[in-house]
Structure 1
Amino acid sequence: MGTRASKRLGKRRQGRTFGWWAAQGQFAPVRLSTSFFRKTFCLAIAFCCAWTVTVAPQNTAPFKLRETIPLPGVEGRIDHFALDASGERLFVCALGNNTVEVLDLRKGERIHSITGLGAPQGIVYIPELDRLFVANDKGGIFKIYDGKSFQQISELNFEDDADNVRYEDTTKRIYVGFGSGGIAIVNAQDGKQISSIKLSGHPEAFELEKNGKRIFVNVPNARNVAVIDQDKGAVTATWKTDLAFGNFPMALDERNHRLFVGCRIPSKLVVLNTDSGTVVAKIDISGDPDEVFYDSKRHRIYAVCGAGKIDIIEQTDPNNYRRSSETETAIGARTGLFVPELDALFIAVPHHGSQQAEVRVYHVE
């Protein structure tokens, strides 16, 4: 999504500083036994190891919680987000609540709820049209709203499980995953369906090449990643994920020809070479991943996991990766939106026990 970073929101960023202290001592020359030196050396090694394990993760954690925006009355799962950067608004698919929550990022509060939806899952906002496009699970209804009044303009019926949505700004086309196996292509200008591409199972996350004609699609029921050639309008290859299944989230590093696939069974980040489809790396991650983002500026991957953690994986080079740290969130907090222009990561936290529904805004350092 081509968006402009908000100046006002950017001014609210804060950096992080750390203070370090060291103790100094004086020693007098005394005669000590060999056994004393052995014991002292062992204790020193043990102390250093314990200090390293405890402190190092704190030094590498790249997220700082900047703000929490409450969502009173919102129940159930929360799915995907969309951003209006110039208007400083965040749109949140409250799937279990059958609403889209509209947040004012300047005020740090909810300003509107779009009701009458059927388990909204995917969403995209197109600033030049000032329109909001929402994909619903129930009935597969794809609804189009005016971005100011939030009045419904039109809708398309994909019959079942309209899910992830992507927008390609050069062609002005919207891509919608739906049903038991399809991606619909919609003209953003008039809201009419152009065509659809058949898949072997329900599509989850997918990514479009910006400098190519391919679409990479997670198809977990088929246990593969489907590769679509847009010129042919068909799947031209399928790639396996090396015995890691439940492939739901995805991110693309197009420059380095790498595709990042989050798998749940077992919990792994699988890295694929987009030239060959081969697996180049597998990294352990936390449970229930549902969102993966690639930070090209910092060469990191962020895996947002329902186990209550954001995992940070460092990209040393295109073939080498290291899980460097994690940030605790909340149980069920598995969706969000990374906005590199703002150095911000938005995380959805659902109502669970004493934890109320909210959106957490993290500054990425």
Structure 2
Amino acid sequence: MHPLKKLPLGLCCLLMIGSTRAQTKIQALIPKAEIVLPNVKGGFDLMAYDAGQKRLFLSAQDNHSVEVIDLKNSKPLKSLPGFNEPKWVFYHPETNTLYVATGKDGKVTAVNAATYKAIKTYQFKEKCNNLRYDQNTNELFVGVGDTFGAIGIIDLNTQKITRQIPLAGFPKQFEVTTDRIYVNEPGKGLIEVIDRKLNKVIAAWLVKSNKDNVPMAIDQAKHLLYIGCAGGSLLTMSTETGLELSRVTIPKDVDGVYLDKKSNRLYVSCGEGFLDAFQIKNGKLNLIQQFATRNGAGTGLLIPAAQLYVLAEPQTGKLPAAIRIFQPAL
């Protein structure tokens, strides 16, 4: 099968009205291409993008590899084996370094993105998951823990782990601002707020769901958090009060929520087999488009620099793993 396969336009355009769905002509995401990954087994976790060389780095957690994909020419470029359940990747363009967080061995591995050779390992006590970066301080933040929880901090200037901030439970996705860190902790049903100057938790907000708050997106300008709950809810919460402002129904097993600031939309990828696009208007979320995807396709990435949205679909049965590429509509 050729690695580049054109997809039909206008897939499953749907609008949610209450608990029913009706067709609409609104397009938020335009299907562009599919890149097949025939040698990758199982499913995926998160991705990172290299704008300079137009490379996509994809955590193939079940395959224990990081897949490097050439988005310019729409083809697989290289497979990096030997990672013990890669969960998240971060690309640092200034040093051409890829950082890979692994779940089974609690490591963050720095990889030379020119030679694809490991150059340094940062060891934590337990599972490493979400990675976030602050360009102003040149710090990499790591979600750490399985039986406990912490946010680890790596100073990329000194290349050392400088500190760990304890949490009430294990962290899933989190967001970093200049003065705060907002952390989803599904095991506790909490969002904990860390003061970066004090290096400690200053607030704990209860999420009214079934301890399933996993992905998160932030709108700093409007002081809002968007929280995806695996049971089938998308919540809007205030970062000023910690209160829930609204919730809408989404498919189950959500794993990705991305805010497109240019179009004021949210893209929500769900493992149940759907990709939803919401328009944000007057503080309300309106579902304007839905794509049927593959079961387990919860991993997405919005790439504003390339004006692309990418969805990773796992290998299932006779279907090979693949990357579906969309272009956000203006």
Distance of 1:131 and 1:144 partners within structure 2: 6
User: For structure 1, which segment, 149-158 or 186-195, has the greater mean C-alpha deviation from structure 2 after superposition?
Assistant: 186-195
Distance of 2:117 and 2:110 partners within structure 1: 9
Asked if 1:359 is matched to 2:327, the reply is no
Distance of 1:106 and 1:243 partners within structure 2: 41
Q: 1:146 to 1:189 in 2, by over 3 A?
A: farther
Residue 288 (structure 1) shift: 0.6
Distance of 2:157 and 2:324 partners within structure 1: 33
The question of whether the paired residues in 1 share the 8 Å contact of 2:189 and 2:208 is answered with no
Distance of 2:291 and 2:132 partners within structure 1: 28
Q: Which one of the candidate residues 201, 210, 215 is aligned to 1:249?
A: 215
Residue 70 (structure 1) shift: 1.4
Per-residue CA deviation, residues 170-209 of structure 1 (Å, 9 max, x unaligned), is 1100000011201100012342101111011110000012
Distance of 2:265 and 2:280 partners within structure 1: 6
User: For structure 1, which segment, 121-130 or 341-350, has the greater mean C-alpha deviation from structure 2 after superposition?
Assistant: 341-350
The question of whether the paired residues in 2 share the 8 Å contact of 1:61 and 1:327 is answered with no
The question of whether the paired residues in 2 share the 8 Å contact of 1:249 and 1:263 is answered with yes
Distance of 1:363 and 1:222 partners within structure 2: 37
Structure 2: 5+ residue runs without aligned partners? 1-8, 11-20
Q: How do residues 155-234 of structure 1 correspond to structure 2 at under 5 angstroms?
A: 155-179=121-145, 180-209=148-177, 212-234=178-200
Q: How do residues 92-111 of structure 1 correspond to structure 2 at under 5 angstroms?
A: 92-111=58-77
Give the equivalent residue in structure 2 for 1:306.
271
Give the equivalent residue in structure 1 for 2:88.
122
Read off the aligned partner of 1:181 and give its amino acid letter: G
Distance of 1:287 and 1:314 partners within structure 2: 20
Give the equivalent residue in structure 2 for 1:346.
310
Give the equivalent residue in structure 1 for 2:301.
337
Asked if 1:74 is matched to 2:37, the reply is no
Q: Normalising by structure 2, report the TM-score.
A: 0.91
Read off the aligned partner of 1:293 and give its amino acid letter: Y
Residue 306 (structure 1) shift: 0.5
Per-residue CA deviation, residues 225-254 of structure 1 (Å, 9 max, x unaligned), is 010000110110011222353000000011
Distance of 1:103 and 1:54 partners within structure 2: 36
Residue 55 (structure 1) shift: 4.1
Q: How many residues align?
A: 309
Give the equivalent residue in structure 1 for 2:16.
none
Read off the aligned partner of 1:199 and give its amino acid letter: L
The question of whether the paired residues in 1 share the 8 Å contact of 2:51 and 2:306 is answered with no
Q: 1:269 to 1:54 in 2, by over 3 A?
A: closer
Deviating above 4 A after TM superposition, structure 1's stretches of 4 or more consecutive aligned residues are: none
Per-residue CA deviation, residues 117-160 of structure 1 (Å, 9 max, x unaligned), is 10000110000011010000011011111110011101011132
Residue 62 (structure 1) shift: 1.6
Read off the aligned partner of 1:279 and give its amino acid letter: E
Per-residue CA deviation, residues 233-284 of structure 1 (Å, 9 max, x unaligned), is 011001122235300000001111100000013x100110111011100110
Give the equivalent residue in structure 1 for 2:15.
none
Read off the aligned partner of 1:61 and give its amino acid letter: Q
Give the equivalent residue in structure 2 for 1:288.
253
Distance of 2:28 and 2:279 partners within structure 1: 11
Distance of 2:31 and 2:286 partners within structure 1: 23
Read off the aligned partner of 1:268 and give its amino acid letter: S
Residue 325 (structure 1) shift: 2.5
Distance of 2:39 and 2:57 partners within structure 1: 16
Q: CA RMSD in A?
A: 1.4
Residue 302 (structure 1) shift: 1.1
Distance of 2:168 and 2:227 partners within structure 1: 18
Q: Identity rate of aligned residues, in percent?
A: 31
Q: How do residues 7-86 of structure 1 correspond to structure 2 at under 5 angstroms?
A: 55-56=23-24, 59-86=25-52
Distance of 2:193 and 2:58 partners within structure 1: 29
Q: 1:218 to 1:55 in 2, by over 3 A?
A: closer
Instruction: Determine helix, strand or coil for the equivalent of 1:221.
Output: coil
The question of whether the paired residues in 2 share the 8 Å contact of 1:283 and 1:323 is answered with no
Instruction: Determine helix, strand or coil for the equivalent of 2:233.
Output: strand
Max radius of gyration: which structure? 1
User: For structure 1, which segment, 81-90 or 293-302, has the greater mean C-alpha deviation from structure 2 after superposition?
Assistant: 293-302
Read off the aligned partner of 2:74 and give its amino acid letter: G
Residue 98 (structure 1) shift: 0.5
Distance of 2:87 and 2:184 partners within structure 1: 16
Instruction: Determine helix, strand or coil for the equivalent of 1:138.
Output: coil
Distance of 2:198 and 2:218 partners within structure 1: 22
Larger strand fraction of residues: 2
